[in-house]
């Protein structure tokens, strides 16, 4: 039942927050929920090899996802406790921050004292929190979060105790810790907001920077279709590791820079959450270890660096993808499809490979600078996960004269089968 007095009281009867769990703890449940949701739905059509999975395997994978989501719900529930002194009703209300649900009401007359509860963390360091000692002997924690600063904890207990004894003698609202590292690893709201804004904007800003870099592009010199003798020779030289000299190249084309990144933008939300979580965990763990002067804790905290770096790398993928595509040439020879860019040549698929096919083409219209439009195609023809399935994940992205390339690949696929 919601407590209306919590939101409607005014003046000197305004409720005061005594203690609460730091909001950042809720973020620890987000990765569990996202990964759990992915595992829950992937076997039923999202994954490219879902058609080949048996029903029992699908149920097991979905079950794992369900467990992960349940863990996230436990985190959300356990990390959102808030205690409020309702001076109008003369009671302390223990509530859940997320759904505003009151879990318990304790009349001030039932409270004998406010004491300091001491515990130990995994490193054996003392941690503290404020606890109500009821006249019945029961102890009730005002939050689920412990802090490391004993002086701060004692000061908070003293203020809460004075306020419980005389609710109108002072105005105390425990909205933030006095120690910058005790509860949130030294993260201020302004810093958190700035980091979140930077992380969220970085994929789009990086793409914009790449699009406005004015780097020379092979699209300006390569015409889709049969290659010129000079280009044929250049591609053979760059792909010499897998392309014999006598193997004829029958078709070349180039991608629309940035198009593949926009098609795969679905991974950006995951990258944003992954990066925010990694940075948050790293900051909190490192800040706490530095505060406690724990060398072991500092070393363990540094293990979060690779995860943060991976997240930053995912966020910058649109930039690197765009810059790579400025130098990318797709090619089809008599026996294989391959790509050449500034980093070298790589074979996408050999036509006698079990991973080749089926052919999946989708056409879209691209607006040109002069107001005209042109038709381009995403042409996928290789499946890395399930060679027997119908889904394909690798191929040519945003190419001109896609119908011509599609006809060549379909002929090769028919000859294979």
The rounded mean pLDDT for the chain is 79
Residue 158 has pLDDT above 50, yes or no: yes
Q: How many domains does the chain have?
A: 2
Q: Is there a single domain that holds both residue 272 and residue 392?
A: no
Structure tokens at 61: 């994978």
Neighbours of 384 (CB within 10 A): 12
Domain finish residue from 325, 346, 365: 325
Q: Is there a single domain that holds both residue 266 and residue 293?
A: yes
- Residues, the chain: 417
111 and 135 Cβ atoms separated by less than 8 Å: yes
Contacts (Cβ under 8 Å, ≥6 apart) of 60: none
128 and 292 Cβ atoms separated by less than 8 Å: no
Please give the model's pTM, rounded to 2 decimal places: 0.60
Model confidence pLDDT, tens digit, residues 5-21: 334 433 456 778 888 87
Query: What does the DSSP assignment read for 153-205?
Result: HHHHHHHHHHHHH-TTS------S-SSTTTTTTT--HHHHHHHHHHHHHHHHH
Domain finish residue from 297, 325, 353: 325
* 56 within domain boundaries: no
76 and 99 Cβ atoms separated by less than 8 Å: no
Radius of gyration of the chain (CA): 30
pLDDT for 157 equals 87
pLDDT for 175 equals 46
Q: Is there a single domain that holds both residue 348 and residue 396?
A: yes
Model confidence pLDDT, tens digit, residues 118-145: 888 766 778 888 889 899 989 988 887 7
Higher pLDDT, 273 or 402: 402
pLDDT band at 60 (very low <50, low <70, confident <90, very high): confident
256 and 227 Cβ atoms separated by less than 8 Å: no
409 and 395 Cβ atoms separated by less than 8 Å: no
Domain finish residue from 305, 325, 345: 325
């Amino acid at each position: 039942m919601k407590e209306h007095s919590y939101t409607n009281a005014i003046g000197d009867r305004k409720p005061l927050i005594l203690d609460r769990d730091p909001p950042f703890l809720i973020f620890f449940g987000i990765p569990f929920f996202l990964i759990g949701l992915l595992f829950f739905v992937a076997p039923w059509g999202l994954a490219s090899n879902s058609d080949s999975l048996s029903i029992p395997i699908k149920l097991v994978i979905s079950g794992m996802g369900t467990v992960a989501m349940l863990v996230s719900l436990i985190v959300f529930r356990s990390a959102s406790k808030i205690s409020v002194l309702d001076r109008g009703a003369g009671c302390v209300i223990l509530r859940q921050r997320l759904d505003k649900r009151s879990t318990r009401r304790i009349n001030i007359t039932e409270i004998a004292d406010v004491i300091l509860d001491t515990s130990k963390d995994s490193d054996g360091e003392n941690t503290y929190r404020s606890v109500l000692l009821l006249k019945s002997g029961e102890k009730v924690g005002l939050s689920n979060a412990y802090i490391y600063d004993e002086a701060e904890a004692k000061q908070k207990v003293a203020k809460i105790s004075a306020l419980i004894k005389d609710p109108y003698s002072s105005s105390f609202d425990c909205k933030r810790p006095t120690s910058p590292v005790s509860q949130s690893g030294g993260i201020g709201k302004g810093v958190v907001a700035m980091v979140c804004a930077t992380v969220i904007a970085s994929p789009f800003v990086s793409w914009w920077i790449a699009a406005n870099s004015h780097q020379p592009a092979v699209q300006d010199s390569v015409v889709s279709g049969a290659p010129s003798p000079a280009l044929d020779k250049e591609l053979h030289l760059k792909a010499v590791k897998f392309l014999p000299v006598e193997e004829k190249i029958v078709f070349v084309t180039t991608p629309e820079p940035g198009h593949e990144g926009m098609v795969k933008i679905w991974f950006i939300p995951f990258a944003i959450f992954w990066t925010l979580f990694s940075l948050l965990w790293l900051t909190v763990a490192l800040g706490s270890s530095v505060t406690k002067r724990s060398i072991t804790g500092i070393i363990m905290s540094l293990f979060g660096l690779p995860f943060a770096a991976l997240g930053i790398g995912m966020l910058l993928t649109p930039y690197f993808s765009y810059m790579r595509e400025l130098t990318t040439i797709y090619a089809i020879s008599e026996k294989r499809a391959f790509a050449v860019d500034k980093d070298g040549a790589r074979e996408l698929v050999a036509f006698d490979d079990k991973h080749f096919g089926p052919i999946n083409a989708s056409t879209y219209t691209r607006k040109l600078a002069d107001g005209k439009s042109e038709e381009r195609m995403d042409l996928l023809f290789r499946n890395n996960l399930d060679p027997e399935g119908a889904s394909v994940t690798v191929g040519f992205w945003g190419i001109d004269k896609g119908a011509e390339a599609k006809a060549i690949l379909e002929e090769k696929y028919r000859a294979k089968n």
